[in-house]
Amino acid sequence: MNCTHAMTLGEIVTEDFRAAAIFERHGLDFCCRGGRSLEHSCRDAGISTEDVLQELEAITGPPSFAAMRFDKMALPALVEYIVDKHHAYVKEALPSLVAHSKKIAGVHGGRHPELVRVGQLVEQVAEEMTSHMMKEEHVLFPFIVKLASAKAEGRPAPVPPFGTVSNPIHVMEVEHESAGNAMFEIRELTDGYKTPADGCTTYEVCLRELEAFEKDLHAHVHLENNILFPKAAALENHG
């Protein structure tokens, strides 16, 4: 794919989701900090922009999941996709993540004290994400769907109960950052989700679950921060 130094990480991933794997590998945050340019992000991460651009250029051929042009989807369909795919996954994944992280903190916490902190962070993410998704599903998303249908049917925009749609969006973005930071800390504490030689099967299972959870969170937050929210705000402002 063709990218420039000035494009933001969010724009690049929106263009082709295969770029996400490259950014993940380099620790470049394309969701919570997706508004920053490639050059700026690479400089901050201490890596060469040219090297990353070369990797991005090597993405060729028809994309698969990447073919889903989320930026071209109608907002109600995008909301439905986020809820059905990402919210459903988070709800399903959390109970076993919490149980497994608590279990390994109890069994291995003596020799691996970082697991106690991992357990606390998982519990925090579980609580925050549960209330976060509830707010999205019951307050923000239904309003965005109403806004989009009013626009499609040529009706006046609904009156938001929260002043402007940018208010709840801002709250959601702050909460995304909190979950993203907690997962980043877990990644650091576990040295990139590595199971030590004395780790048991649950240890390994838990780390794989955490790794998958972080990856899904990045895709989820990308769709909201970089596509859904800016489009909803533009719809409210410009109709």
**Nearer of residues 53 and 90 to Fe ion, judged by Cβ:** 90
**Nearer of residues 14 and 190 to Fe ion, judged by Cβ:** 14
Part of the chain binding Fe ion (CB under 5 A), chosen from 25-33, 34-42, 138-146, 224-232: 224-232
Question: Would you list the DSSP string of 182-206?
Answer: HHHHHHHHTTTTPPPTT--HHHHHH
Single out the residue of 213, 232, 219 nearest to residue 136, CA to CA: 232
| Cβ contact 201:177 at 8 Å | no
| Cβ contact 211:23 at 8 Å | no
**Nearer of residues 135 and 187 to Fe ion, judged by Cβ:** 135
Beta strand extents in 58-155 (DSSP E only): none
Part of the chain binding Fe ion (CB under 5 A), chosen from 42-50, 101-109, 218-226, 230-238: 218-226
Rounded least distance, CB 68 to Fe ion, Å: 17
Residues within window 132-171 making contact with Fe ion, judged by CB under 5 A? 136
3 state SS of 61: coil
**Nearer of residues 58 and 88 to Fe ion, judged by Cβ:** 88
Is there binding between residue 29 and Fe ion (CB under 5 A)? no
Q: Rule CB under 5 A: choose which of 11, 15, 224, 236 binds Fe ion.
A: 224
Rounded least distance, CB 171 to Fe ion, Å: 10
Rounded least distance, CB 222 to Fe ion, Å: 11
Distance CA 206, CA 98 (A): 9
Part of the chain binding Fe ion (CB under 5 A), chosen from 35-43, 45-53, 92-100, 217-225: 217-225
Is there binding between residue 225 and Fe ion (CB under 5 A)? no
C-alpha angle 157-168-87 in degrees, rounded to nearest 5: 100
**Paired residues of 8 in beta bridges:** 37
User: Within 13 A of 38's CA, how many CA atoms are on the CB side?
Assistant: 22
Give the pair of three-digit tokens for residue 40: 């700026």
Rounded least distance, CB 228 to Fe ion, Å: 9
**Nearer of residues 7 and 90 to Fe ion, judged by Cβ:** 90
Rounded least distance, CB 166 to Fe ion, Å: 15
In angstroms, the Cα distances linking 126 to 69, 122, 123 are 29, 6, 5
**Nearer of residues 42 and 129 to Fe ion, judged by Cβ:** 129
Q: DSSP code of 46?
A: T
Is there binding between residue 11 and Fe ion (CB under 5 A)? no
Distance CA 185, CA 202 (A): 20
Rounded least distance, CB 21 to Fe ion, Å: 21
Q: DSSP code of 224?
A: I
Please report, as ranges, the residues that interact with Fe ion according to CB under 5 A. 136, 172, 224
